[in-house]
């Protein structure tokens, strides 16, 4: 009988030790997985921002359509002004050897050479869920009209499949701080110079 009690107590101790280690490791595993997924989503949002800024340089506005943005990257070019000579060289300036030239550069070849642009719209780790993207105009406090865009992905999509309670906790913290519960670049409500909420 004594042996049975010792065996049962040993199993209980082992079970409690495993439960304790697992409860300590669960948030660590969640944060590691979250960091990996966030890094992939941030990289994609930076690519969206780069594409939007190139689009705006040509059309003087942003687009809320991924189809338009991807077509622009695939087929269009944008103008780049290059300077021949140096304005710091006063002799070259006096002799007229300094001038500017505008050239057209293919968007895909210059900005997205090694990037699969067809996947630009998709949130990594979500099996095909798309970023929400919008564009518009914003009037600043000094009554200046500013072109704006916003692309975002909620934590519920980015972190899907990870510990549900940890996702709920993360979203609650964001709401308490009055922040978007996920990752976002740009803003439709304030002029942010297209900053991401991770920056």
Looking at residue 25, its pLDDT comes to 66
Question: pLDDT by residue (tens digit) across 166-198?
Answer: 999 999 999 999 999 999 999 998 888 888 999
Looking at residue 141, its pLDDT comes to 78
Question: What residues does each domain of the chain span?
Answer: 34-66+115-186
Torsion over CA of 105, 63, 37 and 191, rounded to 10 degrees?
A: 100
> Which residues on neighbouring strands pair with residue 130, listed in sequence order?
122
Contact 93, 87 (CB under 8 A): yes
Q: Which of 170, 147, 142 is nearest to 158 (CA)?
A: 170
3-state class of 87 per DSSP?
A: coil
* C-alpha angle 38-27-167 in degrees, rounded to nearest 5: 55
Q: What is the CA 19 to chain-centroid distance, rounded?
A: 36
**Averaged in consecutive runs of 10 residues, what is the pLDDT profile of the chain (199 residues)?**
70 68 74 94 95 90 94 77 65 63 69 81 93 91 89 96 92 93 93 87
Looking at residue 99, its pLDDT comes to 64
Looking at residue 156, its pLDDT comes to 96
Looking at residue 57, its pLDDT comes to 86
How many Å apart are CA 109 and CA 106, to the nearest integer?
Answer: 5
Give the burial string for 146-176 (b: 16+ CB within 10 Å, else e): eebbbbbbbbbbbbbebbeebbeebbeebee
Type and span of the H or E element at 1 = none
> Which residues on neighbouring strands pair with residue 80, listed in sequence order?
103
Q: Which of 189, 158, 194, 188 is nearest to 174 (CA)?
A: 158
In degrees and rounded to multiples of 5, residue 113 shows phi and psi of -60, -45
How distant, in Å, are the alpha carbons of 18, 62, 122 from that of 106? 57, 18, 23
Looking at residue 114, its pLDDT comes to 77
- Sign of the Cα torsion 13, 14, 19, 25 reads positive
């Amino acid at each position: 009988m004594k042996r049975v009690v010792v065996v049962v107590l040993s199993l209980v101790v082992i079970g409690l030790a495993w439960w304790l280690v697992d409860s300590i490791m669960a948030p660590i595993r969640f944060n590691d997985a979250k960091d990996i997924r966030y890094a992939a989503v941030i990289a994609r949002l930076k690519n969206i921002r780069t594409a939007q800024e190139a689009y705006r340089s040509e059309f003087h506005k942003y687009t809320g359509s991924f189809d338009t943005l991807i077509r622009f990257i695939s087929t269009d070019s944008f103008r780049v002004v290059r300077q021949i000579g140096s304005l710091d060289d006063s002799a070259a300036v006096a002799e007229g050897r300094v001038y500017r030239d505008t050239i057209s550069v293919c968007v895909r070849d210059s900005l997205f050479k090694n990037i699969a642009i067809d996947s630009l719209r998709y949130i990594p780790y979500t099996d095909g869920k798309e970023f929400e993207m919008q564009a518009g105009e914003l009037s600043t406090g000094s009554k200046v009209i500013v072109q704006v865009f916003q692309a975002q992905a909620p934590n519920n999509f980015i972190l899907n499949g990870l510990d549900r309670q940890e996702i709920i906790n993360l979203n609650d913290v964001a709401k308490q701080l009055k922040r978007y519960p996920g990752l976002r670049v740009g803003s439709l409500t304030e002029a942010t110079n297209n900053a991401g909420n991770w920056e």
